Structure 1
């Protein structure tokens, strides 16, 4: 058994417990999870890269094989309907033999449109969880993505099993390898495209395997929050580098950001200040702490950085109340992390799907939960020179900003520092730093 799989049996016990509980509550015979189907590109004969559905991969790390199904009632051994066609055009996957296969009764499916012969005969009493709702109707399902089931499963997914934490730690380890290689490529004077290639090589994953499109931003591009251009041309001068990039393990994602300066200057000092700020916020994390309160505290600390680094004048209250901190730090502190980069249930404090919205002044905050044991989150404060946001401030507020310092920093773009952390009963585990990324 691989080190990743050492806790897998207990993971399946927990998954079966969840299935049994929600089926008992909703008077269902069981749950059927669909991996999904390939999507054909418009007016073409090729498919888009296949992405397995999250609820399916919460059971097992089968990520690249469409037309598969999991049938689980919470009591019997779950069944994996494994798609293995007769095909001379493409490589057909072997019947899996790995750490997770003993936990499933595996049945082979050679033709996707014949799955009804393997699915339970009383399919109307089972719930379908998946994307292909029309197919589900054709197969006879009457419970298709029921809200009560989805809300329950999403809430439960916010508490990671030991197996899931193992996968997340490995995803961080792989991404850290890439970040270190990318930093060196920046220092060597590479283009954004050059840096991307070095990152993927070090991680050992292709662009369709990493969990999201990497942000590889040099100089002014670092001020664009979701910059994804990857310029091939090297800039005349390398001033700054922001990389937001992750990796996957077993379908679980890491999501890490770092910012670097090519020289020791005011921008480098600002990076150091933001790095300390991020450490201070993580030090405030503990069970029972509100993530919203952590976000609001971050704005207080950003205001202090603006004062300390000469970017603004006034009181902390005036910088926050006038919207200055939001102009420099417009996004949320972070989000839940797991099978999805922006994982489910960030706004749901219970199994019923209750929604607690972000504060009106902070609409881009992606998590309003109270911290609890087993949660995995990102902590990613930022500070950017974004002219469109600064220009929206009223004239009186703009007088609090030191525009000469803004002008000096504009060519560097911005700063974001992001780690992935686990909430334990007695401590916070910073997977990213533990894997060696300063």
Structure 2
């Protein structure tokens, strides 16, 4: 996304955030929204720091992701203030002075020590809603995270502005470019670690820059949902490759998963069948669709694939009701995405609080809201051959529902997952990920 285009979109984004902040403060009875960027954390009994992770509430306002010790002050009707820490330091790289399309919208004060920030914050901390982690406390300015403020902001963060969608589109383009590089490395016989390095190189992002730790899984490792070991040597024979890897653009995430077979075999056909289901589910990201229903519909469609490939011996509805489909598809159909890979507010009943329950028997679903225009969600159906879950199925007396010879054939491939980032609109959904893959050709 070009800087002029972002410059055109940013003022309206800022107006939306200002309106949300004003209403959140009205509900909580505070006068100011004060947001620390966060501080550096150190390992216990050591002087080594963890990678800095900016406060999501902070980066919602401006594209600063590496500015520890800085603060935002939002007061309704007043120009927002950024207190920016740029220390004198020759041990580490110092953050560069703010620049770009957004700086003209803020009063920016540069400080040299973290303690200096206090003199530029509102006079009475009791009148402030301070959003952050306890470690960000600065004297009397201790994060209090008022529930009415968080309920309101987290609920409405599900609805992305055009500016945010532009950044997520750019993140998908970065991620897709890296996914193509990773596939080439797989086809060339690289190890999991080698594929990971190829991905980071193509994305132009180090492991600490990415929105989550890359899942690079060859063969049976694809049956571990969050596999991050990355063997240094490739397996022999090389059968399959599952990659779940994202990218960042100005603090916004892409979350993309693809699966490949090394040969044109039955597993490749199974991947194609899952891909067709995934695309059909993406097309159901429409206003008024209940996301838990979409999750259960994914189970029905994936169970039909399992039946068609002679893996299970049940009709799809029975497989869902008896819990057989959960053995092969044990996670949720997706989640909200944006400033965080698993964005907040996924279970919010309203902007005043409350929780929307998950479907019974489906504890890992991360979003239970009804879809509406502006929401961006992932759609990530999968089929896996996980020994622990297969043994549990036997223990439940459901052994005769499965063709074990077929399971034995697919087990060495681990599993399949296909994932795209999809925008709900008033009409046809926008698939940011498929759009990026199409543009790359």
Please state which band the TM-score falls in when normalised by the shorter chain. over 0.9
What are the residue-to-residue correspondences of 1:213-252 with 2, within 5 Å?
Answer: 213-252=213-252
Report the Cα offset of residue 319 of structure 1: 1.5
Q: 8 Å contact 1:23–1:73 — kept in the other structure?
A: no
Partners of 1:25 and 1:4 in 2: how far apart? 31
Partners of 2:172 and 2:20 in 1: how far apart? 27
Q: 8 Å contact 1:77–1:103 — kept in the other structure?
A: yes
Report the Cα offset of residue 395 of structure 1: 6.0
Which range moved further: 298-307 or 375-384?
Answer: 298-307
Provide, for residues 305-340 of structure 1, a one-character-per-residue CA deviation record: whole Å limited to 9, x for no partner. 111001011222322222110000000000000000
Partners of 1:249 and 1:5 in 2: how far apart? 15
The residue that corresponds to 2:205 in the other structure is 205
What are the residue-to-residue correspondences of 1:174-189 with 2, within 5 Å?
Answer: 174-189=174-189
**1:133/1:49 CA distance change after superposition, 3 Å:** closer
Which range moved further: 16-25 or 62-71?
Answer: 16-25
Long gaps (5+) in structure 1:
none
Q: 8 Å contact 2:347–2:356 — kept in the other structure?
A: yes
Provide, for residues 132-159 of structure 1, a one-character-per-residue CA deviation record: whole Å limited to 9, x for no partner. 36725x3255x71001101111011110
The residue that corresponds to 2:301 in the other structure is 301
Report the Cα offset of residue 123 of structure 1: 2.4
Q: 8 Å contact 1:349–1:370 — kept in the other structure?
A: no
Report the Cα offset of residue 124 of structure 1: 1.6
Report the Cα offset of residue 26 of structure 1: 2.3
Q: 8 Å contact 1:18–1:74 — kept in the other structure?
A: no
Provide, for residues 342-371 of structure 1, a one-character-per-residue CA deviation record: whole Å limited to 9, x for no partner. 000111131012111211211111110100
Q: 8 Å contact 1:349–1:369 — kept in the other structure?
A: yes
The residue that corresponds to 2:378 in the other structure is 378
For the aligned residues, what is the CA RMSD? 1.4
The residue that corresponds to 1:399 in the other structure is 400
Matched, 1:116 2:118: yes
Partners of 1:63 and 1:396 in 2: how far apart? 52
Provide, for residues 270-292 of structure 1, a one-character-per-residue CA deviation record: whole Å limited to 9, x for no partner. 00110011111122221001001
Q: Number of aligned pairs?
A: 436
Q: 8 Å contact 1:275–1:417 — kept in the other structure?
A: yes
Matched, 1:321 2:310: no
SS at 1:106's partner residue?
A: strand
SS at 1:349's partner residue?
A: strand
Partners of 2:186 and 2:277 in 1: how far apart? 24
Partners of 2:121 and 2:403 in 1: how far apart? 67
Report the Cα offset of residue 269 of structure 1: 0.8
Partners of 1:395 and 1:140 in 2: how far apart? 54
Provide, for residues 178-217 of structure 1, a one-character-per-residue CA deviation record: whole Å limited to 9, x for no partner. 1001011000000001100110111110100000000000
Partners of 1:49 and 1:229 in 2: how far apart? 19
Matched, 1:422 2:400: no
SS at 1:362's partner residue?
A: coil
Q: 8 Å contact 2:36–2:55 — kept in the other structure?
A: yes
SS at 2:302's partner residue?
A: helix
SS at 1:354's partner residue?
A: strand
Report the Cα offset of residue 83 of structure 1: 0.2
Q: 8 Å contact 2:421–2:433 — kept in the other structure?
A: yes
Which range moved further: 379-388 or 389-398?
Answer: 389-398
SS at 1:190's partner residue?
A: coil
Q: TM-score, normalised by structure 1?
A: 0.97
Q: 8 Å contact 1:133–1:144 — kept in the other structure?
A: no
Q: 8 Å contact 2:39–2:136 — kept in the other structure?
A: no
SS at 1:299's partner residue?
A: helix
What are the residue-to-residue correspondences of 1:259-298 with 2, within 5 Å?
Answer: 259-298=259-298
Q: 8 Å contact 2:43–2:49 — kept in the other structure?
A: yes
SS at 2:229's partner residue?
A: coil
Partners of 2:216 and 2:52 in 1: how far apart? 24
**1:415/1:134 CA distance change after superposition, 3 Å:** closer
Q: 8 Å contact 2:39–2:135 — kept in the other structure?
A: no
Long gaps (5+) in structure 2:
none
Provide, for residues 7-45 of structure 1, a one-character-per-residue CA deviation record: whole Å limited to 9, x for no partner. 111111111111111222322111000101101122222
The residue that corresponds to 2:254 in the other structure is 254
Report the Cα offset of residue 48 of structure 1: 1.0
SS at 2:156's partner residue?
A: helix
Provide, for residues 21-72 of structure 1, a one-character-per-residue CA deviation record: whole Å limited to 9, x for no partner. 1222322111000101101122222211111011011101111110000000
Report the Cα offset of residue 94 of structure 1: 2.8
